[in-house]
Amino acid sequence: MTELILHHYDISPYAEKIRLAFGLKGLSWASVIVPATLPKPDLMPLTGGFRRTPVLQIGADIYCDTLRIAMELDRRCPEPRLLPESGGGAGFDGILATWAERVLMWPTARYVTGMNRDALPEAFFRDRAEMRGHPVPTPDEVAAGLPHEEGQLRLMLGWVEDLLADDRRFARGRLPRLADLALYQRLWWLRALDGRAAHALDDFPRTRDWITRIASVGHGERSELSPRDALRIASAAEPADPPRGVPDDDLAPQGRVRVTTEDFARDPVEGELVHATRETIAIRRDDPEVGRVHVHFPCLGYAVTPSPK
Ligand SMILES: N[C@@H](CCC(=O)N[C@@H](CS)C(=O)NCC(=O)O)C(=O)O
C-alpha cells in the first residue's frame, strides 16, 4: 500500500506544487479528494480544524502546509532536494518562494477567479470571502478590478522573465526545487480552469518555456483512495517519534498550545506540543474518530500560543 496520502483537489495550485514534488522525486502516492469548500468532515478528524489544501498524511502523522510537506519529503527521500541546505541557496529560494506565495499570490488569485466569475460556483466565492473575512464581491466589482490586477500581474511577470533572461533552466540549480514549484503553482493557476487568464503569459516566452520544463516533471505514480479508507489508516496507525532537531528554547516548555495560520482561515488547531524547532512544530491530538495523531506545521507563517485555560 502507498504510504504517502495527499488530501487535495485537482484545481488546487498549492496541491499542484506537491504533486510535482512527488514527480520530481519519482514517488508513488495515494490521492484523497477533499471538497474545495467547507465543510470537510473527512479531513477535520485528521487536522483538528486546519482546512487548507493540500494536507499530507503518513499513517497517523499529518503534515499541514506545502513547506512542511516538502521538508518531510526531503527527509524521507533526500534526492533530488526540494529545499537546499543553509548556504546552498536557502536564502534565495526562501525569498523567491515567499514572494511568489505572499505577493504574486494576490494578482494571480484575483485575476483568475475574476476572469472565471461566471464559471465557478457561487458557493466557492461565498466560502473564500468568509475564509478571508470580507464580503462576497459582486460580478460588477470583480469586473471593474480586472484591469488593475492584470497590470500588477504583467509587471511582476516581467520580473520572472528577467530572472530567466540568462538562459538558466530553473530559478537556481540544475533541477527545479521547491522555490520553482512555489512560483510555478501561481502561473499554473493562470492556465487553469478554462485558461481564460492564460493570455497574461503571452509576452513572456522564457517564462512559458520554464513552465513547460517544470510541467514535464509529472506527478509520480498516483492512485486513488477513499476518504474513509484514509481515516481507517490513521486509526490503525500510531504517530511516529517526532523528528529530532535543534529545540526552540522559546517553545521549550511543553503543554497545550494553539497553532494558527498568520494569514487567513485562522481556525486554531489545539494539542499538546510534542516537538518544536526553529523551523517545525508538532502537536499531539487525541481525536474521537481517528485516535492519536501528530499534526505537523512549519514555523514560517504560523503562530503558536498557549491554549486558553
Ligand atoms: N501556506 C499554505 C497555503 C495553502 C492554500 O492556501 N491552499 C488553498 C488551495 S490552493 C486553500 O487552502 N484554499 C482553501 C481550501 O482549500 O479550503 C500552503 O503552502 O500549503
Report which protein residue has its CA nearest ligand 1's atom 8. 53
Which CATH class, in words, describes the domain spanning 90-215? Answer: mainly alpha
For residue 244, what pLDDT is reported?
A: 72
Closest CA to 269 of 280, 253, 285: 285
For residue 152, what pLDDT is reported?
A: 98
Helix, strand or coil, per DSSP, at residue 147? helix
Report which protein residue has its CA nearest ligand 1's atom 17. 52
Q: What pTM does this model have?
A: 0.97
Res 248 pLDDT > 80: no
User: Could you identify the residue written with the cell 518531510?
Assistant: 72
Q: pLDDT tens digit string along 10-39?
A: 999 999 999 999 999 999 999 999 999 999
Q: Please, which residues have CB within 8 angstroms of residue 224's CB and are 6 or more apart in sequence?
A: 30, 31, 32, 33
Secondary structure E strands in 108-263 = 221-224, 256-261
Q: pLDDT tens digit string along 100-143?
A: 999 999 999 999 999 999 889 999 999 999 999 999 999 999 99
Q: Report how far residue 67's alpha carbon sits from residue 82's, in angstroms, rounded to the nearest whole number.
A: 10
Res 252 pLDDT > 70: no
Res 66 pLDDT > 80: yes
User: Element (H or E) spanning 151, and its range?
Assistant: helix 139-163
Q: Determine contact, residues 92/172, Cβ cutoff 8 Å.
A: yes
* Residue 251 pLDDT class (50, 70, 90 cuts): low
Q: Determine contact, residues 293/262, Cβ cutoff 8 Å.
A: no
- Distance between Cα 57 and ligand 1 center (Å): 16
Res 2 pLDDT > 80: no
- Distance between Cα 253 and ligand 1 center (Å): 30
Helix, strand or coil, per DSSP, at residue 223? strand
% of the chain beyond a pLDDT of 70: 96
Multiple choice CATH, 5-81+222-306, 3.60.15.30, 3.10.180.10, 3.40.30.110, 1.10.2020.10: 3.40.30.110
Q: How far is CA 148 from its chain centroid?
A: 26
Q: Within 13 A of 127's CA, how many CA atoms are on the CB side? A: 14
Report which protein residue has its CA nearest ligand 1's atom 15. 52
Res 250 pLDDT > 70: no
Q: Report how far residue 204's alpha carbon sits from residue 210's, in angstroms, rounded to the nearest whole number.
A: 10
* Residue 257 pLDDT class (50, 70, 90 cuts): very high
The helix-helix angle for 178-191 and 66-76 (nearest 10°) equals 130
Mutate to test the pocket of ligand 1, among 7, 17, 40, 53 (most ligand atoms within 8 A of CB): 53
* Residue 85 pLDDT class (50, 70, 90 cuts): confident
For residue 242, what pLDDT is reported?
A: 83
Average pLDDT, stretch 194-211?
A: 97
Res 198 pLDDT > 80: yes
Domain chopping of the chain, boundaries:
5-81+222-306, 90-215
Q: Determine contact, residues 84/97, Cβ cutoff 8 Å.
A: no
**What are 157's three cell numbers?**
511577470
Q: Which atom of ligand 1 has the smallest separation from the CA of 69? A: 20
Q: Determine contact, residues 275/242, Cβ cutoff 8 Å.
A: yes
For residue 143, what pLDDT is reported?
A: 93
**What are 266's three cell numbers?**
485562522
Helix, strand or coil, per DSSP, at residue 187? helix
Helix, strand or coil, per DSSP, at residue 6? strand
Is the CB of 51 within 6 Å of ligand 1? yes
Give the CA radius of gyration of the chain: 19
Report which protein residue has its CA nearest ligand 1's atom 20. 65
